[in-house]
């Protein structure tokens, strides 16, 4: 997601529309946003969706959705989860989602 690219929000809206039905829950929306923040992040050299990282991202997006504070581009570029994971690289590779 690139805030300078006018198509970024259009791409995200299109992904959400295709992935979710009209009567989706906030948790489902948070999950889709977590996946998009990983896959559409141009700062990632490779795509790895570790379960514990994805849980943290879903919780972050769900909190923002429920509190209606708004989601910013910087939320999609947050790489702190990956940094924490690389410091604690003791888990099995089976933890990939």
**Strand pairing partners for 96?**
50
User: What are the sequence ranges of the domains in the chain?
Assistant: 8-77
Counting Cβ atoms within 10 Å, is residue 53 exposed (0-12), middle (13-18) or buried (19+)? Answer: buried
Residue 85 φ/ψ, nearest 5 degrees: -65, -40
The C-alpha atoms of residue 58 and residue 64 are separated, in whole angstroms, by 10
Please say if the pLDDT value at position 58 is more than 90: yes
DSSP state of 44: -
pLDDT in tens, 59-92: 999 998 899 887 777 777 766 665 555 555 555 4
pTM above 0.95, yes or no: no
The C-alpha atoms of residue 56 and residue 76 are separated, in whole angstroms, by 13
């Amino acid at each position: 997601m690139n805030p300078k690219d006018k198509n970024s929000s259009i791409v995200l809206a299109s992904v959400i529309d295709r992935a979710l039905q009209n009567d989706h829950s906030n948790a489902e929306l948070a999950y889709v946003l977590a996946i998009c923040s990983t896959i559409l992040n141009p700062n990632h050299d490779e795509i790895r969706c570790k379960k514990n990282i994805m849980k943290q991202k879903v919780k972050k997006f769900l909190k923002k959705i429920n509190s209606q504070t708004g989601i910013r581009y910087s939320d999609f570029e947050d790489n702190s989860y990956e940094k924490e994971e690389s410091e604690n690289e003791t888990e099995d590779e089976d933890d990939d989602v």
